[in-house]
Amino acid sequence: MIVVAGEALIDLLPTADRDGQPALRPAIGGSPLNVALGLGRLGRRTAFLGAVSTDAFGAQIMAALQDSRVDTALVMRVARPTPLAVASLSGGEARYAFYDAGTASRGMTLRELAPHPVDATWLHFGSIALAAEPAASTLIARAKTVARSTQSPCLVSYDPNVRPDFATDEAPYRRNLDQAMEVADLIKLSHADLAWMRPGITADGFAREQIVRGASLVVVTRGNEGAEAFTRQHGFAVPAPQVEVADTIGAGDAFMAGLLCALDEAHVRTRTVLAALPKKALLDAISFAACVAAVTCSKQGAVMPWREELQASPSAHARASGHPGQESLDSRLRGNERSEK
């Protein structure tokens, strides 16, 4: 089972009413929630771990989880309002204004968290829950506990999904991001995340640092330029499939869901297996993730695709996994190693 932990919220997306006047359309959102929905729709056994409000929006979130075949046994229903994120679009890219004070996700505590399933093989967490207390400390503590368990150790994946405008105090937010990366076996972040977290550092330089700290796989996504992936042995780039983009809302979450799905289907359930994955298996996993993200970008809003939609788009997957322009970074990494000696 893959457990996805973090916030569940409602995105208010720009639209127009019947008279053509600007309006807002509510949609299910939150990066971890999107990842859970994506995994469920891709056919992986998934549970969502988080606090969901008992209000009307919370009922919509619960219905979405159940409709996407996500286990809700770990969900805590709380009498606090659902957080809201008001989106504005520019060139297909979304920016958000968050309304989160006193809401369900921000107030999540260790006391509220359900016990971790003994059959869980992955824990995925991250996003804006790490920008506010007590949710940040709660999720980091859970990740450390499952990562260090001697009875039922669990692989940990992390996506910072940086939202600096959301954090009320930048210094503790940065510390939370760093602590989360320290415990993660898999780190997935965007080039924009990287630029804010570590200005001036290259993707392979950042990956090297995190692998020394304990990560087995680091992936940096670059929007329509594809993604770069790094392990101790390999580094390579995968192009993004070419699709007509409606918007990019939820693309990173779809990529994360696709990546975890592919790794889980490849029976990557331990750190040893993840660290030793051959390049072909990694390339297949990253290519599948890029395809899932591309299908999401072809729709308006963060609509995670069903498995059947991917099967109906074989040409997109073929372009993602067999693109002749794939750039191997192995030689570049080896060159860096020689220069460092």
What is the domain range of residue 124? Answer: 35-50+116-340
* Residue 15 counted as domain residue: no
* Residue 1 counted as domain residue: no
Each residue's pLDDT tens digit, 147-166: 887 776 799 999 999 988 77
What's 329's domain CATH number? 3.40.1190.20
* Residue 12 counted as domain residue: no
Each residue's pLDDT tens digit, 176-192: 999 999 999 999 999 99
**What is the number of structural domains in the chain?**
1
The whole-number pLDDT of residue 236 equals: 92
* Residue 147 counted as domain residue: yes
**Separation of alpha carbons 224 and 91, rounded Å:** 13
* Residue 111 counted as domain residue: no
* Residue 70 counted as domain residue: no
**Strand ordering across the sheet containing 155-159:** 75-78, 46-53, 2-5, 122-126, 155-159, 186-190, 217-221, 227-230, 235-238
Each residue's pLDDT tens digit, 193-220: 999 999 999 999 999 999 999 999 999 9
The whole-number pLDDT of residue 91 equals: 61
Between CA 211 and CA 192, with CA 284 as vertex, the angle to 5 degrees is: 50
* Residue 27 counted as domain residue: no
Helix axes 56-67, 31-41, angle to 10 degrees: 30
Structure tokens at 144: 């450390």
* Residue 99 counted as domain residue: no
Q: Mean pLDDT, the chain, as a whole number?
A: 86
